[in-house]
Amino acid sequence: MNDYFPRPGTASVPVLRLGDVLLITLQGDLHDGMAARLQQDVAEAIVRHRVAGVVIDITGVEIVDSFLGRILAEIAAHAKLLAAQTVVAGMRPAVALTLVELGLTLPGLRTALSTEAALELLGRPDAARSGGPHRDPR
């Protein structure tokens, strides 16, 4: 089952549930208010739906500054405390270089080149192919 969690009446980042994984797609700039709402939305969705993983797709992000790096690290830290793994997908080479130049190590974050690869890292290969939750054939 796929669920979409927009926060009504506010500019927010959509959080999509694919089985036991949350998918967040960042596009453009993320200002302070949106970042705080995103952190809260992700933490609440992890607990409400008992998800095991969070994929943050940053393919649409052209520039990462220390603010966005900190937000990604904080989301990963919150998720880890709530027993979920976080994978950042779709990082552009320029973004990776910027993160290194800024000295941001992003503890608790794993990376993948694509959303599909991120889902596979989380052990959800069926979700990567079909868009649905992983089903154990046993």
- Reply yes or no on whether the pLDDT at 47 is more than 70: yes
Report whether pLDDT(121) > 60.
yes
Residue-averaged pLDDT of the chain: 83
CATH of domain 2-124: 3.30.750.24
Helix (H) or strand (E) holding 57: strand 53-60
Of 10 and 105, which is predicted with more confidence?
105
Residue 133 pLDDT? 41
- pTM of the full predicted structure? 0.82
Q: Which residue type is seen at 29?
A: D
- The answer to whether the Cα torsion of 103, 109, 112, 115 is positive or negative is negative
Helix (H, G, I), strand (E, B) or coil at 130: helix
Nearest CA among 129, 48, 112 for reference residue 84: 48
For the chain, the domains span 2-124
Say what the pLDDT of residue 7 is.
52
